[in-house]
Structure 1
Amino acid sequence: MDKQLPAASGYASIDEKLAISSARHPGFPRDQAMLARLVKLVHKLFCDHGNALLRDYGISHPEYNVLMMLDGSEAGLSPSQISEAASEKSSNVTRLIDQLLAKGLVSREPSGEDRRKLVVRLTAAGEQLIETVMPAVIAQLQRFFSGVEAQELQQMEALLTRVLVGLETRA
């Protein structure tokens, strides 16, 4: 595999430590461990860069993720649906919703179908914030993936989906 990595990449540090673990533990799945570590590093960097970008708009990356899950819903979502869609713990979703409520970006009201359930929806201010932030988010995502061809993106999505299925069914 051709490795085109920046000098400051966390890859070298991970690679060095996995080489030691591989030497110490026969049968250690270095390739799988490397991929798991890279996914973790990529996630951390996505969040760090996202937080840096979104700070100027008064929201955090987790708050943005909740807003985007709501943006993709026609009728709003329950807190448990947000938790699942945003891959956040329910206690964290409660805190995020409270923060977004305080900022006037979402509303929380009883469901029309079942008054015991709550529905969270974007407010007009939340919709406006998404419209405002979207050009910067699009540009950032395009920069992140600028070295990856469209076909490679599709392949990466298919491969990560297979890994996800493995995690969900064999965990």
Structure 2
Amino acid sequence: MPDEPLRDAVDDIVDQWNAARPDLDTAPMALVGRLNRFHAHVDAALREYFAENGLDFSEFDVLATLRRSGEPYELNARALLKSAMVTSGAITNRVDKLAAKGLVERRPCPTDRRAVLIRLTPAGKELIDAVAPGHIRNEERLVAALTPAERDQLSGLLRKLLVSRGDTRLL
């Protein structure tokens, strides 16, 4: 039956709501439900890949942030905090874990005695450089059902939603 439209689990939920409460517009529920369900698939795939490489998502996030910052691959704690959008305690814990693994190091800021710089160690740079290509392949697998044009369209629509929520600047 090739002409049947695709159906997912959210369609069943929406059908149930439409039967129980036909007065409700379930379109927003369907969209947000699909975003949430897809996020769960993404989250599971990312966790699995990072675990295979001895990391968790938060550790990858710090290593990737430092790597993409460019040489000398270091940022102050405040810049890391803004990039990760978590509490200062969470950043401290992440950096502590990575430092214990020898992947980052703390060093005093030469221009501000109160500040500390977080820098990738050679082992940290080597690990993030080895893990990043596989991470991108993993993400490619997750969106493989979409054509390049569909990916661009979806990315643009999600960008529009993020901008509407004020999510416009990383730092």
TM-score by length of 1: 0.78
* Alignment counterpart, residue 143 of structure 1, candidates 136, 141, 144: 141
- How big is the shift at 1:67? 1.1
2:127 alignment counterpart: 129
Bigger relative CO (Cα 8 Å, ≥ 6 apart):
2
Q: How do 1:96-135 residues align onto structure 2 when only pairs under 5 Å count?
A: 96-135=94-133
Tell me the matched-pair count: 161
The aligned amino acid for 2:33 is: R
- How big is the shift at 1:72? 0.8
- How big is the shift at 1:27? 4.4
Residue aligned with 2:111, SS: coil
1:53 alignment counterpart: 49
Q: Is the deviation greater in 81-90 or in 142-151?
A: 81-90
Residue aligned with 1:54, SS: helix
1:70 alignment counterpart: 66
Q: After TM superposition, what 4+ stretches of structure 1 lie above 6 angstroms from structure 2? A: none
Residue aligned with 2:102, SS: coil
Residue aligned with 2:86, SS: coil
Q: Which consecutive residues of structure 2, in runs of 5 or more, have no partner in the other structure?
A: none
- How big is the shift at 1:60? 0.8
The 1:130–1:4 alpha-carbon spacing in structure 2 relative to 1, beyond 3 Å, is farther
Instruction: Among all aligned residue pairs of Structure 1 and Structure 2, give the percentage whose two residues are the same amino acid.
Output: 28
Q: Which consecutive residues of structure 1, in runs of 5 or more, have no partner in the other structure?
A: 6-10
Residue aligned with 1:108, SS: strand
The 1:16–1:60 alpha-carbon spacing in structure 2 relative to 1, beyond 3 Å, is same
Counterpart Cα distance in 2 of 1:157 and 1:58: 30
Q: RMSD of the alignment, in Å? A: 2.5
CA deviation vs aligned residue, 1:108-155 (integer Å, no higher than 9, x gap) = 223223222222121111111012223322321221122222222222
Counterpart Cα distance in 2 of 1:3 and 1:109: 58
Counterpart Cα distance in 2 of 1:127 and 1:121: 10
